[in-house]
A and B are shown apart, each in its own frame.
Chain A
Amino acid sequence: MKHQRHWLDALSRREAFARIARATLGVGLMPALSRQLDAAAVETPARAKNIIYVMMHGAMSHLDTFDPKPGREEQGETKPIQTKTPGILFGHTLEKLASLSDRLAIIRSLSTETGAHEQGRYLMRTSYPMINSIRHPAFGAWAVHGMGKISRDLPGYVLVGNGNEHPGAGFLDPALTPVPVADPTKGLENTTRPRYLSAENFDRRLALANRIDRDFKERYAGQQLDAYNQLYKDAIRLMGSVDLQAFDIAREKPEVRERYGDSQVGLGCLLARRLVESGVRCVEVEFGGWDMHRDVFEEMDEKGRQLDRAVGTLLEDLEDRGLLASTLVVLATEFGRTPRINENAGRDHHPGVFSCVLAGAGVQGGAVFGASDERGFRPDKDPVSVADFNTTIAAACGLPFDKEFHAPNGRPFKIGGGGTPIAAVLA
């Protein structure tokens, strides 16, 4: 069973949990604990058990990364380079990824209708357009909903970045909300009690709070409060868990950090690898700074190289640890950027066509699907919708993408948004 390559096998994990549970929380949680472990022990037919989803905040230019147009005026200063896959070119900042192209499945014919950042991210993450009357779950929430948590103490879903506008659990159980980690170097903060505070005293405080709060909670019972009530439980469970060290990238050797690069995305990917290794089902890493309306080639020089180093190293590292066979890595963006270079030497928003990349578990390496036209303006071959893309991810995870789920308001939704999986990129 692949997921058992963790440093604790299922049995010793169970013992470890039991010990912690007795030490800090009493034995009351034991039944829930064994349920969790049993769920995790069931082998699922899918190959991807974990997902690392890297989101290019601000919208990544396709021409300067995964879909260059050699010889075109639109290409500007980015030089297309040869990848390991014959005939496939990348922008010159993606050297490492070019050498790993046989692990990647590149989709070059995505397009959407929205050129607004927040709406673009929302659509990518949830497969549905942002509307007022409902909040849709992000893919990670569906994944944990469908596949369950792996570690009992650690969250199922972690977001390295800003939780503010993330759709999170949407209409699913608030417990599926990703736990945001603002700064990968700090990990999850405030997880230990102040030293003067004994465990007993902490419990007393909680009991006191619950008692004083009972009327208020009763009066306003509903989703808003439930979200907090649930997360109080999660927070308490996290405190004192030995698995917390998964959040601490300082435990990595300096040379490992060096390989990933000292950037937001590098440290984020390193943290993601640690978390996946320790039993977090899905990690999203936000990578900001792609909104290159000005000086796109200067900016690409920085961001493109950071991306290359971080994701390239992540793939190698996962592979070295035998985790790539069970981890799906997704590289997604809000939309693309205009082929035309504007008067500020930048590129503007372009939802007309753009590229995303899949790698690892469940994915056919070296595949390229779809194509944009000669200028990188519109899909030219095999257009792919966001729903198709996300349904492909769902398929790679073995999630039931055809099944209808009903939101509390009765409306039906599908994981991946009811698209058609792209068979050509699935292993």
Chain B
Amino acid sequence: MQRVIACLLVVAAALAVEAAPATKAARAAKRAEKNSGQPGARLPAAVLEAPASPVMQVASVDRARRPVVEAAARQIDSLLEQHWHEHGVAGSEPLSDAQFVRRIHLELAGQIPTFDDTMRFLDSKSPSKRADLIDELLESSDYVSHTYNFWADILRLCERPQKDLFFEPYLDWVKRSIADNRPYDQWVHELLTADGKVWENPAVGFQLRDKGMPLPYVDNTVRVFLGTQIGCAQCHDHPFDSWTQHQFYELAALTSGTRMRLEGAVGKKKGMTKEEAKEAALAARQANTETFRQVRQIVVEANQQIRDKKVDQGLRQFINANLTSVNYHDAKLLLPHDYRYDDAQPLAAVAPRVLWGEIPTAAAGKDGREQFAAWLTSRENRQFARTIANRMWRKVMGVGLVEPVDDFREGNPASNPELLEHLTDLMLSLDFDLREFIRVIVSTNAYQRRAVLHDPTSATPFRFTGPALKRMTAEQLWDSILVLVAHNEWAFQRPTVEAYAARAEGHLTAPGTSYNDVEQAYERFNQAFSKKRYLTRLHKNYGYQGQVLVRASELPTPLPLGHFLRQFGQSDRESIEGGRTVATVPQILSMFNGPITHSMLVPGSALHDEVMSHDSQQAVDVVFLSILSHRPSAEDRSFAIQEIRSAETPTAGIGNLVWALLNTREFIFIQ
């Protein structure tokens, strides 16, 4: 055994040294390692030890609700069983414990279980061990990370959607909202109505994402939260659906008063007498004139300094970011000049109106944007609940009852309307608690069955006799590999709202701020957050062969096209749900020969240490359990042992086995 271990170390070291860094980033990382006195191609120290304390606060799951959850799951099962009976199909076979532990980790934590997770679960004799594990995972930081990736794909989350939009606080806020398990309807309402700068009120990020594009904003918002595509009607009556261009404009009129530029002080307040209001307005105007003059001076000076190359272009973006702030004043929206239908004249003002239903009475006296948000997120607006119920169902079961999940319309009915309405009721009865909703679905027998093939082109609808077979998402694959490599996957988290705010605020409008003050603030900001410094730090502290070994949710986005995550289909964060799971040749080459596959053979990797801590007789089982979460069949075990024996060295044999398991379809597909 000792010999095996010694060899393993030698081979692993050789592996690590010989895989020459091919990319510019890799070379930079190598340089960084050299400068820091670390030998190349070692795992970064930060990932070698498990974190001592919990990495984040996550709202706890109410164990007392378990009977309610289970009853809700049984209801879904009985609806499905009835559906199967009607269509003459049967559920696929129930998952074994080993299959369950892997699937549920991927589903809720976004990664495969560790060797210990798997062993603990397999060895447990508790009758409630599945429910216990579900609850435990739902309150883990891994759940937050995985759910963040899910929303990042939908909300197009990235650090710089435009040069002067600094989105780090918004990204952190989304993550925290998940950790706090905020009710979805309240969360969406806040996204649609938030005011201020992004580091003052990070929820403004949603409105800012489409800055300068108020009509596409309405289209995207309706598509994401109401599962309805009205985009065509922006330019003309919808060709296949009932939406008219006029209706699109009526809806858009509700949010057309949204402004994204910092506004001056407003003097008048409700309840003031006429005299008071007049005085307050005058005072505000004077203050605004003063502020305006100050800001203009700063901008003029900044432009001069940039022209003289005394300071870089980034200062302009810093200033613009400081002048970007969401606010709202009712404003008229006009039809386009080329409006060509008979129901109105071009350039006529449009009266605001919702697409269906009524604006809730509670919002009747409020401004257009408040009315829009109140209508959209209302319990009475059943399509809001239906859309998210269908979306979360698809997240877990792999296929929506309506597909695509953002294209509800008459010609595209649900495959099981009764179930969809039932799930909508469930969503409402849970008061939009998305985590609890998922807790119910993963507790169904239907979920805890083996995956079945889904052919989207088939004429027969998917019957949910088990979840659809899915390839891991790019993020699931990355985070799963991280399980095998890093003892600490949470060595780094993206900056918090507070840390960011402390550096990003330039106080441009505070009385007495000079250009020099702003330039200094910009320098301070740059120290921490300039792209170059930020990336250099990441590579220096967490880099291995040009890869930054932290959770996918914490990596900068969008990642460069050639990054492992992008190869495997991570979204460019430009199109809504742009993530894909289709096969390409570079993916396979990456798994064959890329640095990531080899990172787990390096001394100090989680897999390496796990194999080392066991008797050599157990090496094969440990490798199987670590990578595929099950023991090998007797036949595969003896074949693997044979293979190890006949390899040049036993370690080369183990290396071959690791490589082979990573390159199975079983590894990247979720059964």
Question: How far apart are B24's CB and chain A's nearest CB, in angstroms?
Answer: 9
- What residues on B are CB-neighbors of A227 within 8 Å? 582-583
Q: What mask results when residues 162 to 193 of chain A are scored 1 for a CB within 8 Å of chain B, else 0?
A: 11110010010010010111110010111111
Q: Give chain B interface residues in 633-664, CB to chain A under 8 Å.
A: 636, 639-640, 643, 647-648, 652, 656-657, 659-661, 663-664
Inter-subunit contact A340/B337 (CB<8 Å): yes
Does any Cβ of A come within 8 Å of B370's Cβ?
Answer: no
Per the bound structure, the CA–CA distance linking A186 and B665 in Å amounts to: 27
The CA-CA distance from A293 to B579 in the complex, in Å, is: 24
Contact with A along B10-32 (1 / 0, CB 8 A): 01001100110011000000000
Minimum distance in angstroms from B550 CB to a CB of chain A: 21
B636's partner among A132, A211, A352 (CB-CB below 8 A) is A211
Contact present for A212 and B659 (CB under 8 Å)? no
Q: Is the CB of B586 within 8 A of A189?
A: yes
Contact A179 B457 (CB under 8 A): no
Assess the A293–B457 pair: CB atoms within 8 A: no
Interface SS of chain A: loop
Q: Does B567 contact A (CB under 8 A)?
A: yes
- Give the interface SS of chain B, mostly helix, strand, loop or mixed: loop
With CB as the reference atom, state the residue of chain B lying closest to A58.
B574
Fill in one digit per residue for B268-309: 1 if any A CB lies within 8 Å of its CB, else 0: 000000000000000000000000000000000000000000
Q: Which residues of B sit under 8 angstroms from A204, Cβ to Cβ?
A: 643, 647, 656
Q: List chain B residues, Cβ under 8 A from A228.
A: 583, 588, 665, 668
A349 and B235 in contact, given A216-B669, A225-B669, A229-B665 (Cβ under 8 angstroms): yes
| Cβ B22 vs Cβ A189 within 8 A | yes
CB–CB B588/A162 < 8 A? no
Q: Is A44 an interface residue (CB 8 A)?
A: no
Of B338, B572, B586, which contacts A179 at CB under 8 A?
B586
The distance in angstroms between the C-alpha atoms of A196 and B561, with both chains bound, is: 28
Task: Say whether A220 contacts B572, CB under 8 Å.
Answer: no
Judged by a CB distance under 8 angstroms, whether A250 is at the interface is no
Chain A residues contacting B640 (CB-CB under 8 Å) are: 208, 212
Of B404, B588, B639, chain A has the most CB atoms within 10 Å of the CB of B588
Q: Cα distance A234–B586 when bound, in Å?
A: 10
Given the interface pairs A180-B586, A194-B15, A217-B665, the reply to whether A135 lies near B593 with Cβ below 8 Å is no
> Which residues from chain B contact A340 at a C-beta distance below 8 Å?
337
Judging by beta carbons under 8 Å apart, are B580 and A164 in contact?
A: yes
Whether B586 contacts A212 by the Cβ 8 Å rule is: no
For the complex formed, measure the closest distance between the CB of B14 and the CB atoms of chain A, giving whole angstroms.
6
* Cβ-based interface call for A344 (8 A): yes
Cβ of B172 to closest chain A Cβ, rounded Å: 26
B583 cross-chain contacts in A, Cβ below 8 A: 174, 177, 227-228, 231
Residue of A nearest to B239 (CB): A113
**Which residue from A116, A132, A216, A346 sits with its C-beta under 8 Å from B664?**
A216
A220 touches which of B22, B459, B469, B561 (Cβ 8 Å): B469
Interface flags for A380-405 (1: CB within 8 Å of B; 0: not) read 00000000000000000000000000
Q: In the complex, what residues of B have CB within 8 A of residue A349's CB?
A: 235
Cα A229 to Cα B588 in complex, Å, equals: 10
Assembly CA distance A282 to B632 (angstroms): 44
Known A155-B585, A177-B582, A182-B566: A190·B594 in contact at CB below 8 Å: yes
Which among A174, A195, A222, A228 has the highest number of chain B CB atoms within 10 Å?
A: A228
CA distance A194 to B17 in the complex (A): 10
Distance of B412 from chain A, by nearest CB (Å):
7
Residues of B contacting A180 in the complex (Cβ-Cβ under 8 angstroms): 584-586
Compute how far the CA of A239 lies from the CA of B585 in the bound complex, rounded to whole angstroms.
11
Does B639 lie within 8 Å of A211, measured CB to CB?
yes
Point out the residues of chain B lying under 8 angstroms from A183, CB to CB: 560-562
Docked complex Cα distance between A222 and B468 (Å): 13
C-alpha spacing A68/B587, complex, angstroms: 43
With CB as the reference atom, state the residue of chain B lying closest to A229: B665
CB distance from B415 to the nearest CB of A (A): 12
Q: A259 interface residue, CB < 8 Å from B?
A: no
A1 within 8 A of B: no
Residue in contact with B589 in the complex, picked from A117, A162, A213, A235, CB distance below 8 Å: A235
List residues of chain A with CB within 8 A of the CB of B235: 115, 349, 351-352
- Tell me the number of A-to-B contacts counted with CB atoms below 8 Å: 196
A189-B585 contact in complex given A132-B403, A171-B457, A213-B664, C-beta closer than 8 Å: no
A12 within 8 A of partner (CB): no
Q: Which of B19, B232, B569 contacts A115 (CB under 8 A)?
A: B232
| Interface presence of A408 (CB below 8 A) | yes
Residues from chain A with Cβ under 8 Å of B469 in the complex: 220, 222, 224
Say whether A134 contacts B586, CB under 8 Å.
no
A224 and B586 contacting across the interface, CB-CB below 8 Å: no
A238: B residues at CB distance < 8 A? 585, 589
Q: Do A213 and B584 form a contact, CB below 8 Å, given A117-B575, A135-B457?
A: no
Contact call A162/B666, Cβ cutoff below 8 A? no
**A194 is contacted by which of B403, B572, B593, B671 (Cβ under 8 Å)?**
B593
Could you mark each residue 143-155 of chain A with 1 if its beta carbon is under 8 Å from any beta carbon of chain B, else 0? 0000000000001
Question: Does A22 sit at the interface, judged by CB under 8 A?
Answer: no
Q: Which listed residue, A133, A209, A217, touches B661 by the CB 8 Å rule? A: A209
Asked if B652 and A182 sit within 8 Å, CB to CB, the answer is no
Give, as a whole number of angstroms, the nearest-CB distance from A157 to chain B: 11
In the complex, B471 has a CB within 8 A of chain A = yes
Bound complex: CA A126 to CA B652 (Å): 47
Q: Quick check: B586 and A190 within 8 Å, CB to CB?
A: yes
Q: Which of A162, A224, A352 has a CB less than 8 Å from the CB of B561?
A: A162
Kindly supply a per-residue 1/0 record for chain A positions 324-356, scoring 1 wherever the CB is within 8 Å of any chain B CB and 0 otherwise.
000000000000000010001010010110000
Q: Which residues of B contact A189 (CB under 8 A)?
A: 22-23, 562, 586, 589-590, 594
Taking CB atoms, residues of chain B closer than 8 Å to A293 are 212-213
Q: How far is the CA of A37 from the CA of B456 in the complex (A)?
A: 36
Cα distance, A211 to B583, chains bound together (Å): 21
- The verdict on A132 contacting B412 (CB below 8 Å), with A179-B586, A344-B212 known, is yes
Q: Please tell me if B458 contacts chain A, counting CB pairs below 8 Å.
A: yes
Residues of A within 8 A of B205 (CB): none
Q: CA–CA, A407 to B584, complex, Å?
A: 22
Are B404 and A132 in contact, with the CB atoms below 8 A?
Answer: yes
Report the bound CA distance from A224 to B590 in whole Å.
19
Complex partner residue of A163 from B404, B571, B582, B639, CB under 8 angstroms: B582
Measured between beta carbons, the chain A residues less than 8 angstroms from B584 are 163, 177, 179-180, 231
Please indicate the chain A residues that have their CB under 8 angstroms from the CB of B412 in the complex.
132
Decide if B592 touches A220 in the complex (CB within 8 Å).
Answer: no
Contact of B665 among A113, A117, A182, A216 (CB under 8 A): A216
Chain B 545-578 per-residue mask, 1 if CB under 8 angstroms from chain A, else 0: 0000000000000001110001101011001001
Bound CA span A293–B212, Å: 8
Chain A residues with Cβ below 8 Å from B523 are none
B234/A186 in contact, CB under 8 A: no
Q: How far is the CA of A33 from the CA of B580 in the complex (A)?
A: 33
A235 to chain B: closest residue by CB: B588
- Whether B231 is near chain A, meaning CB under 8 Å from some CB there, is yes
A349 to B236, CA, bound (A): 12
Distance, CA A344 to CA B213, complexed state (A): 10
The reply to whether A116 and B231 form a contact with Cβ atoms under 8 Å apart is yes
Give the chain A neighbours of B403 by CB distance below 8 A: 132
Tell which of B407, B458, B562, B579 has the most Cβ of chain A within 10 Å: B562
Leading 8 A-B pairs by shortest Cβ distance: A182-B561, A208-B660, A182-B562, A213-B664, A209-B660, A216-B666, A235-B588, A190-B589
Would you give 12 A-B contacts (Cβ < 8 Å), ordered by A?
Answer: A113-B236, A135-B456, A162-B566, A164-B571, A186-B562, A194-B598, A209-B661, A213-B665, A220-B671, A231-B587, A238-B585, A377-B338
